Structure 1
Amino acid sequence: MQAYYFYQQPNDANFYVQKQIGTQPAEFIWVDCRREDVIADAEAWQQKIFTLTGLSINEFHVRDILNLEHPCVFDTLEDYDLLIFRKLITPNDDISLSEPSEQHERLFGLETSPIGLIITSQVLITIRETGNRALENYVQRVETIVTRKIEEQNNPRKLASSPLDLALRLLNSVIDDYLDLRVPLTKRVEYWQQALLQGNQRFKKWHQLLHENMAFQQIENLCEEQIEALQEFRDDVIENYQHIKGRKSAEKQDIMLVRINDLCNHIERIQSHTIRFRNSIQAAMDLHFSAISNQTNENMRILAIITAVFAPLTLLTGIYGMNFESIPGLKSPNGFWIMLLLMAFTTILLIYYFYRQHLVGRGEKSVIDLLAQQHRDQRVNMFWFLDYEPIKQTMKEVSKLTRFK
């Protein structure tokens, strides 16, 4: 647990920060806590918080903060507001969770970790996991600012002017880390596309692909929870801004609302990326099943052609294999060779007929082979597949019809 005291110089609109109580009363206090501090002794932690801030935290809220599986939620009491915000664990984080997770989730960072924020007009309390790089980087930045001289602390960026302002800055640093997930998510989408759309081996990773789809669905649900919690937070700012803005905060209500809306827009961007990635995987699955169906139809077509070619030969051998004493050509020395020539002629005639009907030698084995013939030096993925000429023509016709309507 570490506390930072924010002061304001006389005749100066800027704030500065210290790690100890100064001669003048602090405008507001930021208490940064790790989850281990609360787990070790919750009652002692509550007593320390009361000694530092004079704030008594509800026992049920302490339980919510300690719950690793608690969803995103916003709650308000007469003394303070509570915001529990779940953070996606990015590859840069070093958060160790107690429950084991799937290997692909650990690799690409689709797990989440809760962050608790307790906000009043004079106090901000954050409860986080050890290894949360977004908040730890912000704490290190404040630690660096503390070592500077007072006149240099607001260069090049001004310090927060209220607990609400500081909370929004922390949330912004947390949400901005989400954009780092676009690269690993894009790579894993390309991996599944390549596994589904190319390769001679049979695709067998359906269990992992199911978990993949569920992971994307969990991200979408998480984004919805975060947006709902921030919208409730925004409503509370609209209704009770005077009680949470701080005693000397110069930030206007409209600026705070713009910042909250900006946070919601960032989350919506992550949600749209996730939906687009999941749709890409679903499209690859549809193409995979279409290719399998096309391959099955091709195999059945080949078998049908073979059956049609050998049916007349079976008929002839069946007729001349009957046990009768008098059969035309039975005792002829050239009957056997005449029959072989007749069967060969029948086979060639049928194959020529099937070829003229485009049933032999003019079909493609599968959709994957068709794509590979046009892009031999490229890996199969959804980005250049959209440049496939028949699909481009279809999209042009659809756009023309849309403009016409």
Structure 2
Amino acid sequence: MQTFYFFQHQDEHHTCVQRDNNAQAEQQFMWIDCTREDVVNRAEQWQKEILDATGIQLNEYHVRDILNIDHPCAFDAMEEYDLLIFRKLITPDDQIDKGEIAMDKYESVYGLATSPISFIITSQVLITIHEKGNHTFESYLSRILNITNKSLDEQNKPRKLPITPLDLALRLLNIMIDGYLDLRGPLSKRVEFWQQELLQGNRRFAKWHQLFQENLGFQQIENLCEEQIDALQELRDEIVENYSHLKGKKKAEKQDIMLVRVDDLVSHVERIQKYTVRLSNAIQSAIDLHFSAIANQTNENMRILAIITAVFAPLTLLTGVYGMNFEFIPGLKNPIGFWMMLMVMLMCTVILIVYFYRRHLVGRGERSVIDMLAQQHKNQRVDLLWFLNYEPIKQTMKEVEKITKLK
């Protein structure tokens, strides 16, 4: 548990921070940062330490909510303080122990794990409870520690320090939410992977279980964003209705500035939610294309089988007729009857193939598809001499006509 005291500089009138309380300076607020290890096994003792340091009597149910590792995002307003529980996605930068040795096992849904962070906000005190190894808090704490090592005249030069507990809480939330934007790259790569797997044509797709888990992961992010937006909206309502309860006696930060910051946080979360929805729709579009390609291939196979069946149907009819066991059949005793029947069967086959070709039922091409969609060949007749329409043959026929006329 670490404690930081923010107070106003006597001469420069800007905010400074120290590890020890400065009785001579005008204190603005106090920040107590705790980890779950400070609370989980000594909850009663921790409540007494908070009471002695800040005079805040924490509600027993709120302590249970803070210790609940699966508690969703929530906001609750009390007379003495406001409680905000905000769940954060565990990123690769975090060093949070999620294994069997950890005190609490995190619920990791398909590669996405979240961790709750609790904010207890009053006009003079901010208490934060987070997991050990949280990169967001540790990076901000290291920055605050570096500032405490500087002199009071140089502390506020690089960046202005927060002057209210609400201001500090919004800054921490802003750092956490901005870290969500870094997830767009990995999520986009995962969507590209599934698109390639679904749209490849050299092998059969069989990873439906993993794809279902991926969709559940995107749904988890959407639900998390909805919870965060609801909690931030309740915090915004509290600022609108009871801002005097949060800002304290010193009127340094205007209400409009706090509302703008909360609205900015909400807009960032909505951006992540919309981006996740777009990625989920991209996967669904790839699935639709996958099934459309399968249906198209099935239709193509059925078309080929139908053409084969249509070509061989007359042949089957002829062989069936001349395979009947009658005593007198025309051509039965004819020595060339067999060859005549083969010739008839061959002519039927050629005529059907030519007919199907002229109707654009055999072969593929843009012209065939356009003609079928435009229905430009409804009254087209079968032309057995269609090969005479080719340009080289036409030129040859013209030359023959000229030679004939000269003779």
SS of corresponding position for 1:40: coil
Shift, 1:257, TM fit = 0.9
Shift, 1:164, TM fit = 0.8
Is the radius of gyration larger for structure 1 or structure 2?
Answer: 2
8 Å contact from structure 1 (residues 230, 260) kept in 2: yes
Shift, 1:350, TM fit = 0.9
8 Å contact from structure 1 (residues 6, 29) kept in 2: yes
1:166 aligns with 2:168: yes
- Spell out, residue by residue over 1:360-399, the C-alpha distance to the aligned partner (whole angstroms, 9 max, x if none): 11269xxxxxxxxxxxxxxxxxxxxxxxxxxxxxxxxxxx
Partner of 2:13: 13
Distance 2:221 2:144 in 1: 31
Distance 1:46 1:15 in 2: 29
Tell me the amino acid that sits aligned with residue 88 of structure 2.
K
Partner of 1:133: 135
8 Å contact from structure 2 (residues 232, 266) kept in 1: yes
Q: Give the alignment of 1:231-246 within 5 angstroms.
A: 231-246=233-248
State percent identity of aligned pairs.
Answer: 65
Partner of 1:113: 115
Partner of 1:307: 309
Distance 2:83 2:153 in 1: 34
Partner of 1:220: 222
1:207 aligns with 2:203: no
- Spell out, residue by residue over 1:82-116, the C-alpha distance to the aligned partner (whole angstroms, 9 max, x if none): 000111222322333314635xx32xxx3221110
1:87 aligns with 2:94: no
SS of corresponding position for 1:223: helix
Shift, 1:249, TM fit = 5.1
Distance 2:132 2:257 in 1: 31
Q: Give the alignment of 1:43-62 within 5 angstroms.
A: 43-62=44-63
Q: 1:96 to 1:348 in 2, by over 3 A?
A: farther
Tell me the amino acid that sits aligned with residue 273 of structure 1.
Y
Distance 1:23 1:240 in 2: 29
Partner of 1:101: 108
Segment drifting more, 213-222 vs 307-316: 213-222
Partner of 1:395: none
Q: 1:363 to 1:317 in 2, by over 3 A?
A: farther
Partner of 1:145: 147
TM-score by length of 2: 0.84
SS of corresponding position for 1:151: coil
Q: 1:122 to 1:99 in 2, by over 3 A?
A: closer
Tell me the amino acid that sits aligned with residue 66 of structure 1.
L
SS of corresponding position for 1:116: strand
TM-score by length of 1: 0.84
Aligned length: 359
Segment drifting more, 325-334 vs 226-235: 325-334
Of structures 1 and 2, the one scoring higher in RCO (CA 8 A, sep 6+) is 1
8 Å contact from structure 1 (residues 28, 246) kept in 2: no
Instruction: Provide structure 1 residue ranges, at least 5 long, that are not aligned to the other structure.
Output: 365-405
8 Å contact from structure 1 (residues 86, 113) kept in 2: yes
Q: Give the alignment of 1:159-308 within 5 angstroms.
A: 159-248=161-250, 250-308=252-310
Instruction: Provide structure 2 residue ranges, at least 5 long, that are not aligned to the other structure.
Output: 99-104, 367-407
